[in-house]
Amino acid sequence: MKIPSTLSIIFFASLLILTLQAKTLDPYKVLGVERNASQREIQKAFHKLSLQYHPDKNKNKGAQEKFAEINNAYDILSDEEKRKNYDLYGDEKGNPGFEAGNAGDQGGYTYFTSGPGQNGFNFRPNEWQNMGGGHGSSKSFSFSFGGSGGHSSFGFGLDDIFSNFFGGGGGQSESFSGSTRSESKSRSAPKSIRAVNVQTYKKEITDKGMTWLLLSCTSSKGAQSYESVIQEVANSLEGALKVGSINCETESSFCKDLGVYPRRTPRVFVYSYRVSDSGSLVEYNGDLAVKSLKTFCQEHLPRFSKRVDLNHFEFSSGTGETLPKVLLLSTKKDTPVIWRVLSGLYRKRFVFYDAEVRDVSDPAVRKLGVDALPAVVGWLSNGEKHTLKTRISVKDIKSAVEDLSALLDGFEKRNKKVASSQAKKPHSETGDKQIPLLTPFNFDALCGDTTPVCIIGAFRSSKARGKLETILSSVSQKSLLRRRSLASSSGDAIGFALLDASKHPSFLNSLDKSGFKSLDKLVVAYKPRKGKFTAFVGEFSTEEVEWFIGSVLNGDVKFAKTRQKPTLK
């Protein structure tokens, strides 16, 4: 190998310094970022510039060319392998370019060749400030010289070349091939948007309760700016939103079935539950900006939770419904995003409610027995109330959805056990109507002023409850009573309910001073509108209770005035 003389090296180096001002298409400069920029910084810069120079938005001369440069720069820097190749060789493919006999402009590198033999060496721009003496670690470069014998190269530290010009070294010499230490660190590749085909759409998207943000395009060209914005929205709503991309060039029949016809520019859709309970595609036609697209996605998150006024909410449970109910109490003016997400995922398994409350001192909150907010209260299908969780803390959407999902799964299992045990209870051959259990939350709905007569079976033991439930279930199914209960406008409608007198003694105390404490079970006919009641304490059989209720409807039973308006606490 023929070693070039020191004078020759100094000559070429001097020539290089004079020509470093040559215009280059450095992707870092195109996007206006530092060479050690993170992927997020690169995405933000690309997003900003692509919006500024997008041909659909910018009609100025040169905008289209500039937009192409921006896309090309992002294509290089967003790909880990291409960026590494560019940093090392000045070319994303890993093949440095040379032009015989002159200086080349190769994507941020300036190359020099030494004539017909194509002997050459290369330096990266912005490296000259690292040259010279000092006490830091020095940089070095690789030089290549070709000849009849082929291509050969050698490397040496810059201190070896320039120590006589810029002072003594003293620092440790390092050998590089055009990359600095900070730039040789591996960079994480950007997340790719998942491809969606017809099978994926049917299996994971259609009517599954989760909102999806979908990009429709015919090729990857021109879609980078859309992908960047979509990925940023997905990151900010992780746990509430999933993203996918539909290629209408390879999935043309699928796009046709969806009604997503390809256009010159990509299209953005949200699989939304706002229009239909089963979900449907809604196109986004706003600006390609993270903030506006995120707002659009939030608007189309599921809304299967019913917003209620806790002070006037008439909650009814245990009336033959099999789904458990859950209520979120929070200080939020609108249904929280997390609760909306859950209402979509569990919409076929739970009935969702949510209410805005001031604080735990709110009487309606105290009535539910909640001592901290936010809180989730649940009701089993038999009417039993459970405080599922209080003082809910939220780190992010994803973890909160996962935690509350586990909570709902556990409550659903408990409800199935209750439903199974109820199914095993004996019922009259005339029917098996379930009698609801009175609670503070459903009292107004079952025995409020809108109910002319409320038949209440009060019990103080599980055995007494089973007896009353069987009798009232049978009696409530009788043709005469059923016919009258349906004629609500006639004033003869009857409501049926059970009351746990051991938990709510105040109810019976409001009727009679003794509170019927000596009785294990009794049947009360209560007229809410008139504030009157009568009680049956005789032989408990289906026939006797049926006779008692018939006498109440016929006016053959004397009613007494209640001591005060009955309530449940």
| Domains by residue range for the chain, with CATH | 6-184 (1.10.287.110), 198-299 (3.40.30.10), 305-423 (3.40.30.10), 443-561 (3.40.30.10)
Task: Match 């009568």 to its residue by tokens.
Answer: 534
What is the chain's pLDDT, residue by residue, as a tens digit (569 residues)? 444 555 455 444 444 444 343 335 789 999 999 988 888 888 888 888 888 888 777 888 888 888 888 888 888 888 888 888 888 777 776 554 433 333 334 444 433 333 434 444 444 444 433 333 333 333 333 333 333 334 333 333 333 322 332 233 333 333 333 333 333 333 333 457 899 999 999 999 999 999 999 999 876 666 788 888 999 999 999 999 999 999 888 888 999 999 887 777 889 999 998 867 788 999 999 988 999 999 999 999 999 999 998 887 765 544 446 789 999 999 999 999 999 999 999 999 999 999 999 999 988 898 888 999 999 999 998 888 899 999 998 889 999 999 999 999 999 999 998 877 766 655 444 345 678 888 877 888 888 888 899 999 999 998 999 999 999 988 887 644 443 443 333 344 688 999 999 888 889 999 988 888 889 999 999 999 999 999 998 778 888 998 899 888 888 889 999 999 888 86
So what's the pLDDT on residue 152? 37
What is the pLDDT, as a whole number, of residue 220? 63
pLDDT the model gives residue 458: 94
* Strand duo 351-356 + 325-330: pairing: parallel
- Specify the pTM: 0.51
CA–CA gap between residue 376 and residue 368 (Å, rounded): 11
3-state SS, 228-281, equals HHHHHHHHHCECCEEEEEEECCCCHHHHHHHCCCCCCCCEEEEEECCCCCCCEE
pLDDT score for 423: 61
d(C-alpha 438, C-alpha 468), whole Å: 14
Per-residue model confidence (pLDDT) at position 156 = 33
Interhelix angle 63-77/224-236, nearest 10 degrees:
60
Please give the pLDDT value at position 136: 38
As to burial, measured by CB atoms within 10 angstroms (0-12 exposed, 13-18 middle, 19+ buried), residue 178 is buried
Of 318, 338, 320, the residue nearest 328 (C-alpha): 338
Rounded CA-CA distance 559/81 in Å is: 88
Write down the pLDDT at residue 101. 34
How many CB atoms are closer than 10 A to CB 16? 17
